[in-house]
Chain A
Amino acid sequence: MQTFDYLDHTTTSPIFERIVKRMHLDLPLLLALVLLCGIGLIALYSASGQNINVIEAQLKRLSVGFIAMLFAAQIPPRFYQFSAPWLFSIGLGLLAAVLVIGDINKGAQRWISVGGFSFQPSELMKLFVPLMVAWYFSDRPLPPRPLETLVATILIVVPVFLVARQPDLGTALLIGSSGFAVLWLAGLRIRTTFYLILTASACAPLFWMLMKDYQRQRVLTLLNPESDPLGTGYHIIQSKIAIGSGGLYGKGWLNGTQSHLEFLPERSTDFIFAVFSEEFGLFGIIFLMAIYLFIIIRGMQIAIHSQDGFTRLLVGGLIFIFFVYAFVNMGMVSGLLPVVGLPLPLVSYGGTSLVTLLIGFGMLMSAHTHRRLLSS
């Protein structure tokens, strides 16, 4: 564990380091996040057809996101721990409300409007579910007993079910996986884990029946995209062409024909990874994945170094969300997973998920830096 300590001593000047620390930020993580967002802007400039307005809009969102992160980092972990049940309850209430009074947009009921300001409660639950499960286990001896496991499972499954009903499969997947990541980190028995996976598989047909037609179609499309090349398979085929034609070195920045000639749908948002892969090739992908891996490992390292049970579980859950985001997006764009509509974290164009993710990183940094201040 000592071996990871060198990561804390970056080559930047001590003054700069001190300022960063004073702001409760983690420098390696911050640099990696900024680098990722930079790559995102480069890819977005190409994907948007060199539209500077899109870049400006994304920069504005990033500013909001980083300010929110800074803000979240200032709040001590104790406060998060204290307010977790309240936040979770409010989030759950909003999720229930959205099913009743929510706005319907593109056939899905996800948004709720409060005084001219609309937002997705499911977005909040990405933070509140790991927060809640971490809180639940924070004072209990670990590994959890079966009854505690059951309670935690219910805490996860209820919001997942509500989000899936909207329907928003991608977010449901994220919320569920982050909750279970916390459960796993809390020491869920291997055998129980096995049973849970078995139960989930057994429920698959039930899940299939609950799915909407378009969701089923997406799964079928994944299995054989060529069966409907102009309909639902079009996204996957064009995206695979973009990635595959990129080759080792890529076609070069701004030279991706698949995106510039508009063959690739959703190229600024969910399918931006295909644009990036086409223009920067396998080398570009290796670089991008290395950054993602660095952020995840750095996050897990922070979790391991946390001293109290609440923060390490929270940090573990938050970082796992980030991983699932990245993996599911790259998996769906490359045709490994069905199209569930998750953006590539910090790279795709789009607001809410960006801000949520950065708030998550703010909470993570708060957990890390406040510990350090106390211990030193």
Chain B
Amino acid sequence: MRDSIRLKDYYRENLLFSRRAYALIIAVVIFMILLMSRMIYLQIIQNDFYSTMSLNNRVRLVPIPPTRGLIYDRNGILLAENLPTFGIDLIVERTPDLEQTLEELADIIHIRPQDLEKFHRLRKRTKPFDPVPLRLRLSEEEVAKFASNRHLFPAAELTATLTRHYPFGALTAHVLGYVGRLDEYDLKKVDTKQYSGTRHIGKIGIERFYESHLHGSVGHQQIETNARGRIQRVLKRTPPEPGKNLHLALDINLQQKAMSLLKDQRGSLVAMEPFSGEVFTLVSMPTYDPNLFVNGIDQQSFDALNQSIDRPLFNRAIRGQYPPGSTIKPMLGLAALDNEIIARDYKVYDPGWYQLKNDDHKYRDWRRGGHGWVDYEKAIVESCDTYYYDISLRMGIDTIGRFLHEFGFGQPTQIDMGSEASGLLPSREWKYAFRNEPWFPGETLITGIGQGFFLATPLQLAYATSIVASQGHRTNPHLLRATSDHTSNNLDLVNHATKPPLSLKNPANWQLTTQAMVAVITHIRGTANSIADGLSYSLAGKTGTAQVFGIEQGERYEKDKVAVRLRDHALFVAFAPAEKPQIAVALIVENGGSGGQVAAPIIRDFLDFYFTEKSHADI
């Protein structure tokens, strides 16, 4: 078989070939159909999916941050603005020789080694056609120099960004607070979409409290980019909505006056309109420059502020908790009258001390020899401690607590600033919960003169005083009067929460107390009689001198300084005019000494200024 000759059978071979060829054609057609189904799958069934992918590939949404709202004082004076600051960006691909360009630029603008280092670090992460920041916050001189040499640097671009600026600086720091760089902690609290283009956020104060008003809403730019991220064209633009402007009740002139009166002293002054609750002045001294914080404060400056023994960053007006001392005596007197513990003609004999039954301890009056027979008015005018020991004991801590609570003590005033301290209005429950001890009668006595556990913020004192001034009218203290948007000058007035008025069983007790407070100044033996000379308006006030606790701290280190810091706090609360109050004010001067001698004269100057200003304004 092996050697047998196979003949070619042309007919059979033709047939074989044709069959094989047709089989091949069928195979080809099958493969083509397979390919076709793949295309149908991709282009018809999966079309939506891939169209979206294609769109996501090329279209990028670039956020345009809104312009932050401005803040004005009550007279329309700008307190917070957005100033353009200039910087220089480099687009690396436009430079033929980067090093040379940098050298030439260094002749015109000041480039520090750390700027260069940062530039080179950023450059590695940036595409060559995207700008890389080289310098921020150019001086005016640098801007001018660069502008005139601009043609020499095709790769450099002058960038303008709006930066928050507080023209009054330290004057408004404790009211407005400041904005700072948006950090990860902030991003957890805000709608990240809205803040996608924003770099700054209100960190504290009004800036933080009204962040949602001030921020505005983000705009967008739809841009088409290629695979390397280079922008091809802008497809659509939705402009951002600028933030609302805020119009505060704050009067910058009063603020300035209060600050200059406190000068180098530590303390706080809060003034407000008693009926509306509008806060005119909110000063905490010492203070700081908020502009330092806007673009990040350097460590050295921050440490200086943060570690200062005077604590300039601490907002004493809303967070400082002080024993209110005798300033609460008018409210406490009203409590005794209204609860019918005492009558208007109730009298106490003061030998210079008070003693509880079965107790040897003598609770001393501030005057060694005592005030003799003391009635309701004299107790306020001369600030008699013994009288208040007596009526406090009669009322008991529960009644005191209930009534003083109505004046806003022991709770935040809800001022529109946030991070407010609530003070401490002591009670049996509080003491049991926090000290695990029962309440002792002696503690009721010292509560009655605003000492002991009792703590209040200057704002709480101003609020309580304004309740007395307005005879029970209660509106939460607030700074915001109105808002406006960028398009119109119309002010949208803001309504603030009011509480039902505090009504007394006998409203005449308001007048009685006010009279006594007027006599504090006018009466020859009044504790603030020193400021009575030449008073052109009727002034009702109450002095306070609070003993300082917590002596132990720092005693070993700076003996002479500690001695100063052991002195009493000087307090004064007041309202004027007494018969139709327009302003209520509370002042505390830390370690100032006597309220009548230190705090009252400051208030006198402050109110003189207020009424002079007002009369000018009225004309």
Other than A187-B17, A261-B225, give 19 A-B pairs with Cβ distance below 8 A: A141-B6, A184-B20, A244-B42, A245-B47, A257-B224, A260-B226, A261-B224, A261-B232, A262-B228, A277-B39, A281-B43, A282-B39, A282-B43, A289-B32, A296-B28, A303-B17, A312-B17, A316-B24, A336-B35
Question: B551 within 8 Å of A by Cβ?
Answer: no
Question: B38 within 8 Å of A by Cβ?
Answer: yes
Q: Is the CB of A141 within 8 A of B38?
A: no
List residues of A (242-289) whose CB comes within 8 Å of B's CBs: 242-248, 257-258, 260-263, 277, 281-282, 285-286, 289
A286 to chain B: closest CB distance in Å? 8
Residues of B within 8 A of A (CB): 6-9, 13, 16-18, 20-21, 24-25, 28-29, 31-32, 34-36, 38-40, 42-44, 46-47, 49-51, 53-54, 57-58, 224-228, 232
List residues of A (292-344) whose CB comes within 8 Å of B's CBs: 292-293, 296-297, 300, 303-304, 309, 312-313, 316, 320, 323, 327, 330-331, 334-336
Residues of B within 8 A of A303 (CB): 17, 21
Question: How distant is the Cα of A263 from the Cα of B54 in the complex, in angstroms?
Answer: 9
Q: Is the CB of B29 within 8 A of A247?
A: no
Once A261-B58, A262-B227, A289-B32 are accepted as A-B contacts, the answer to whether A300 and B25 lie under 8 Å apart by CB is yes
Question: How distant is the Cα of A242 from the Cα of B54 in the complex, in angstroms?
Answer: 7
Residues of A within 8 A of B (CB): 1, 140-143, 181, 184-187, 238, 240-248, 257-258, 260-263, 277, 281-282, 285-286, 289, 292-293, 296-297, 300, 303-304, 309, 312-313, 316, 320, 323, 327, 330-331, 334-336
Question: How distant is the Cα of A282 from the Cα of B46 in the complex, in angstroms?
Answer: 13
Question: How distant is the Cα of A260 from the Cα of B8 in the complex, in angstroms?
Answer: 59
B262 to chain A: closest CB distance in Å? 62
Partner of B13, one of A241, A260, A304, A309: A309
Partner of B35, one of A1, A245, A330: A330
A45 to chain B: closest CB distance in Å? 19
Q: Is the CB of B43 within 8 A of A248?
A: yes
| 7 A-B pairs with least C-beta separation | A244-B50, A245-B54, A261-B226, A141-B6, A262-B227, A244-B42, A263-B227
Residues of B within 8 A of A296 (CB): 25, 28
**Looking at chain A's contact residues, is the secondary structure mostly helix, strand, loop, or mixed?**
helix
Partner of A331, one of B7, B28, B35, B47: B35
Question: How distant is the Cα of A309 from the Cα of B24 in the complex, in angstroms?
Answer: 17
Residues of A within 8 A of B54 (CB): 241-242, 244-245, 257-258
Residues of B within 8 A of A309 (CB): 8, 13, 17
Q: Is the CB of A300 within 8 A of B24?
A: yes
Residues of B within 8 A of A292 (CB): 32
Residues of A within 8 A of B8 (CB): 140-142, 309
Residues of A within 8 A of B18 (CB): 1, 304
* Chain A residue with the shortest CB-CB distance to B228: A262
Residues of A within 8 A of B24 (CB): 181, 184-185, 300, 316, 320
Residues of A within 8 A of B44 (CB): 247-248, 282
Residues of A within 8 A of B225 (CB): 261
Once A245-B51, A334-B35 are accepted as A-B contacts, the answer to whether A263 and B20 lie under 8 Å apart by CB is no
Q: Is the CB of A261 within 8 A of B57?
A: yes
A-B contact count (CB 8 A): 134
Of B25, B29, B51, which is in contact with the most chain A CB atoms at under 10 Å from its CB? B25
Q: Is the CB of B49 within 8 A of A327?
A: no
* Chain B residue with the shortest CB-CB distance to A256: B54
Partner of B32, one of A242, A293, A335: A293
* Chain B residue with the shortest CB-CB distance to A293: B32
Q: Is the CB of A262 within 8 A of B226?
A: yes
Residues of A within 8 A of B58 (CB): 257, 261, 263
Residues of A within 8 A of B38 (CB): 331, 334-336
Q: Is the CB of A293 within 8 A of B29?
A: yes
Partner of B43, one of A246, A262, A327: A246
Question: How distant is the Cα of A289 from the Cα of B47 in the complex, in angstroms?
Answer: 20
Residues of B within 8 A of A330 (CB): 35
Question: How distant is the Cα of A286 from the Cα of B39 in the complex, in angstroms?
Answer: 9
B38 to chain A: closest CB distance in Å? 5
* Chain B residue with the shortest CB-CB distance to A265: B227
Q: Is the CB of A241 within 8 A of B226?
A: no
Question: How distant is the Cα of A281 from the Cα of B42 in the complex, in angstroms?
Answer: 10
Residues of B within 8 A of A243 (CB): 39, 42-43, 50
Q: Is the CB of B57 within 8 A of A241?
A: yes
Q: Is the CB of B20 within 8 A of A334?
A: no
A18 to chain B: closest CB distance in Å? 29
A14 to chain B: closest CB distance in Å? 30
B210 to chain A: closest CB distance in Å? 43
Partner of B17, one of A140, A185, A247, A327: A185
B51 to chain A: closest CB distance in Å? 5
